[in-house]
Amino acid sequence: MTTIIKAAVDIADALGLEAVTLATLAKKLNIRPPSLYNHFDGLPGLRIELAIHGLEELRGSLMNAAIGRSEDDAIYSIADAYIAFVRKHPGLYEATLPAPGNEDDRLQQLGSDIVHIFTRVLQSYGIEGDAAIHTTRGLRSLLHGFASLEAKGGFGIPLDLDVSIKQMLHIFLVGIRSVKE
């Protein structure tokens, strides 16, 4: 990871993605803002680089979590990795979310890779084809929804969030078995 991306990630995770500006980034690097144009194509270009880096990290975490596991074991492990990633890198995760106009091929590929991890695990349940796609969408919705609501402080009530994750995954996994046949 380049020094510049690392600095941008630090700002994003500490202060939020919107705090990553050419001004703040340049200040952190002891550089003048225009110098950054030698490394990426302006603020939109930086956002794309951040998204790519974030998706690569996320993909790595999820793949690692899925190795040697199947069915519920794999799902719990992947879910853990997903939520841990967002907790550790809230700003970087924000950068990975599809933004209008981001049609970079590398982003498409990374997104597809991540979806593939889910569908592979669902195969271990015997879920394939369209059902696997629908179920993957459900799982991604659940994980992204929880992680992003948590990151924004959307769960006001002071009740253990890890228990909520466990319970909602349990619900989903019980339900998933009704899709198999």
Residues that bind DNA (CB under 7 A): 21-24, 26, 30-39, 42-44
Q: Directed axis angle between helix 105-123 and helix 71-88, to 10°?
A: 150
Q: Which helix (H) or strand (E) holds 105?
A: helix 105-123
Spatial separation of the C-alpha atoms in residues 180 and 127, rounded to whole Å: 5
**Residue number, 19 or 84, with CB nearest to DNA:** 19
Task: Decide if residue 108 touches its own copies (CB under 8 A).
Answer: yes
- For residue 124, the partner it binds in DNA, its own copies, none, with Cβ less than 5 to 8 A by kind, is none
Q: Are 22 and 11 in contact (CB under 8 A)?
A: no
**Residue number, 44 or 175, with CB nearest to DNA:** 44
| Least gap, CB of 47 to DNA (angstroms) | 10
Q: How many CA atoms lie within 13 A of 132 on its CB side?
A: 15
Q: How many residues bind its own copies, per CB under 8 A?
A: 46
Spatial separation of the C-alpha atoms in residues 29 and 176, rounded to whole Å: 49
Task: Decide if residue 43 touches its own copies (CB under 8 A).
Answer: no
Spatial separation of the C-alpha atoms in residues 105 and 177, rounded to whole Å: 35
What 8-state DSSP symbol labels residue 17? Answer: G
Task: Decide if residue 171 touches its own copies (CB under 8 A).
Answer: yes
**Residue number, 36 or 176, with CB nearest to DNA:** 36
- Binding residues for its own copies (CB under 8 A): 16, 97-100, 108, 111-112, 115, 130-131, 133-135, 137-138, 140-146, 148-149, 152-157, 159, 161, 163-164, 167-168, 170-176, 178-179
